[in-house]
């Protein structure tokens, strides 16, 4: 088991003079600053579902392991046939999946063969049963057939000794299927990235607490914890800390060794009660990234005793957008998966918008029955209901743009961030 070294305090540092950072530039800087921080281990393939491969998985045998029939029908040597009506005598016996025919098929003869059966010696072509007529002694069909018709070559899917799955691949049901088919019984994988989620601020209380109009129920922590689980990382609940620097420091100290990355919400700006930024600044690791995006802008990045900290805005919509756009690809790097760009689609706009230049915007959106993206009527970053109403985000570039219904817009489904 190998554990990579921790991140250095200056990994998020911005060059002198950098103020507002465009989204693409911020993403590029983040990508270059990160690398895997989790250890690797070897597991039985049957227990590796959801894990990320740390090394290529090499096929122990070919898939398929031998040339076989793709259909139920009759097999023969292509050289024995030609154009027009063909009539071939049938030999006794048959070839079936798991029960290969032991002998050789003489030239000019055919054999009954079933789907998945290994091609007997002397057979290189199969005619589909529905395209034949037979009396049990002979089989008739119309030629010509293409050589190799209705057959599968040995190793046409994956050859023995080839890479069955590449490093960085997360193992889901299809990936596990090809590993099983090629005899890969053990794989080297990264340990799950452990992401701690911490809420801060005196104004935050747990949902269900005594009602108080001066207090806000904590929506960010349950939202982010479930998001981390949905992304197949290990979510660690670090709880809630009020505006108390000593308590916040103790919480961060306690998280070291228990988590590989930390998401905080609130306290990421430069106000009197923004203690996350203040503590990171005191360690010399704070990079106050002011991102040119809406919703969002402040993103405090730092390292606490080797653990990267992502200080998110306190408003839930901004917290979710920043987590999706910045934290998700960063977690992929930290967890060995590599930098992942969400799959987007150009769809017709189902709305109007006159966007001003200067910031990239992400609008809560969903696809309607006509295939157009409609957006939530309010852009306020405190309108949590819009997150549940939507099933994705519409991304509008940095420059000015006048959007009318039917104009193409970029739509990013929530599912593309998984």
217: β partners: 205
| In the chain, where the domains are located | 20-39+192-334, 42-60+164-190, 68-152, 345-417
Per-residue pLDDT at 270? 47
**Which CATH entry fits the domain spanning 20-39+192-334: 3.50.50.60, 3.40.50.720, 3.30.70.20, 3.40.980.10?**
3.40.980.10
Chain segment 275-311, per-residue pLDDT in tens:
777 888 887 777 778 888 999 777 888 899 889 999 9
CATH fold label, 42-60+164-190: Molybdopterin biosynthesis moea protein, domain 2 (3.90.105)
* CB 340 within 8 Å of CB 332: yes
Per-residue pLDDT at 267? 56
Question: pLDDT under 50 in the chain at which residues?
Answer: 269-273
Per-residue pLDDT at 1? 62
* CB 334 within 8 Å of CB 308: yes
The CATH number of the structural domain formed by 345-417 is: 2.40.340.10
Reduced 3-state DSSP string for the chain? CCCCCCCCCCCCCCCCCCCEECHHHHHHHHHHHCCCCCCEEEEEHHHCCCCEECCCEECCCCECCCCEECCCEEEECHHHCCCEEEEEEEEEEEEECCECCCCECCCCCEEEECCCCECCECCCEEEEHHHEEECCCEEEEEECCCCCCCEECCCCCECCCCEEECCCCECCHHHHHHHHHCCCCEEEEECCCEEEEEEECCCEECCCCCCCCCCEECCHHHHHHHHHHHCCCEEEEEEEECCCHHHHHHHHHHHECCECEEEEECCCCCCCCCHHHHHHHHCCCCEEEEECEECCCEEEEEEECCEEEEEECCCHHHHHHHHHHHHHHHHHHHCCCCCCCCCCEEEEECCCEEECCCCEEEEEEEECCCCCEEECCCCCCCCCHHHHHCCEEEEECCCCEEECCCCEEEEEEHHHHC
Token code pair at residue 296: 């969002």
**Of the candidates 154, 169, 143, 138, the residue with the CA atom closest to the CA atom of residue 51:** 169
Chain segment 317-370, per-residue pLDDT in tens:
999 999 999 999 999 999 999 999 999 999 999 999 999 999 999 999 999 999
Per-residue pLDDT at 274? 64
The CATH number of the structural domain formed by 68-152 is: 2.170.190.11
What is the rounded average pLDDT for all residues in the chain?
92
């Amino acid at each position: 088991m190998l554990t990579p070294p921790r991140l250095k305090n200056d990994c998020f540092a911005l060059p002198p003079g950098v103020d507002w950072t465009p989204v693409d530039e911020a993403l590029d800087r983040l990508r270059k600053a990160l690398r895997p921080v989790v250890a690797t281990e070897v597991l039985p393939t049957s227990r590796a579902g959801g894990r990320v491969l740390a090394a290529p998985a090499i096929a122990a045998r070919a898939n398929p392991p031998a040339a076989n029939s793709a259909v139920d029908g009759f097999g023969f040597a292509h050289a024995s046939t030609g154009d027009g009506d063909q009539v071939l005598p049938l030999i006794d016996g048959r070839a079936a999946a798991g029960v290969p025919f032991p002998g050789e098929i003489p030239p000019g003869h055919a054999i009954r063969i079933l789907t998945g059966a290994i091609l007997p010696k002397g057979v290189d072509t199969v005619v589909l049963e529905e395209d034949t007529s037979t009396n049990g002694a002979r089989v008739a069909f119309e030629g010509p057939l293409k050589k190799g018709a209705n057959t599968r070559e040995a190793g046409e899917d994956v050859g023995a000794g080839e890479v069955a799955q590449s490093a960085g691949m997360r193992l889901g049901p299809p990936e596990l299927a090809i590993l099983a088919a090629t005899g890969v019984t053990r794989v080297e994988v990264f340990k799950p990235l452990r992401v701690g989620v911490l809420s801060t601020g005196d104004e935050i209380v747990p949902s269900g607490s005594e009602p108080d109009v001066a207090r806000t129920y904590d929506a960010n922590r349950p939202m982010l914890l479930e998001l981390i689980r949905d992304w197949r990382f290990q979510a660690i609940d670090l709880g809630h800390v009020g505006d108390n620097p000593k308590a916040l420091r103790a919480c961060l100290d306690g998280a070291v060794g228990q988590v590989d990355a930390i998401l905080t919400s609130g306290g990421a700006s430069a106000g009197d009660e923004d203690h996350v930024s203040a503590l990171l600044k005191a360690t010399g690791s704070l990079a106050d990234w002011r991102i040119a995006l809406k919703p969002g802008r402040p993103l405090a990045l730092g390292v606490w005793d080797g653990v990267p900290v992502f200080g998110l805005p306190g408003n839930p919509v901004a917290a979710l957008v920043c987590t999706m756009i910045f934290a998700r690809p960063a977690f992929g790097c930290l967890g060995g998966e590599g930098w992942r760009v969400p799959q987007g689609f150009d769809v017709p706009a189902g709305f109007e918008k006159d966007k001003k230049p200067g910031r990239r915007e992400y609008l809560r959106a969903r696809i309607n029955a006509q295939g157009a993206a409609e957006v939530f009527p309010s852009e306020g970053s405190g309108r949590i209901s819009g997150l549940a109403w939507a099933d994705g985000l519409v991304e509008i570039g940095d420059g000015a743009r006048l959007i009318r219904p039917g104009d193409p817009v970029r739509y990013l489904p929530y599912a593309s961030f998984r």
